[in-house]
Structure 1
């Protein structure tokens, strides 16, 4: 089993542009192929678009501090991440006394009647 990857960077070495991984062929040999490629970036360098070897494309948006806010792909998956301050005021959530921020991530799959929410404090 091969456990290796090759990562390509932009011309100044700052941003990842692609990842290559070894895939097994029907004959049992190993063939290195490009697994993912970053297709677009925002003005801050965040990867806002990428494509994968299986034909999946993903779009992402980021919030004011560069934190992930929204992602979606071409097969119907989407997720939204929101950050809220602890407290009792407007747009705040209650949490432990030693916690300043509460992280909420909700992933919704299109066509499903089930929404999953993950919370961590």
Structure 2
């Protein structure tokens, strides 16, 4: 099994696309600000899942999954900021995907940590 077989990786790829579509509607002055931060954090999620899966140990893989989870929480906060700035009306679908990704990452982390013993 490779990272490409992981549902969390597949969903995170779709989430990257969603974030890029969302930020395309942000004001132009945010191109190097909030838009860029959201995009980089989104790309970080599947990238860290893939990179971690290629590491030598399960412990290292788990570390990269925690980094992916951190990026997810970063996005959640940045979407709240975008809402406050009136760049988006609601977080809506994105929040549901974030919750799903968080749950999937937590499940994978728990599975890997429990199999390590």
- Which TM-score tier does this pair reach, normalised by the shorter chain? under 0.3
- Computing the radius of gyration from Cα coordinates, the structure with the larger value is 1
The TM-score normalised by the length of structure 2 is: 0.22
Q: Which has the higher strand share?
A: 1
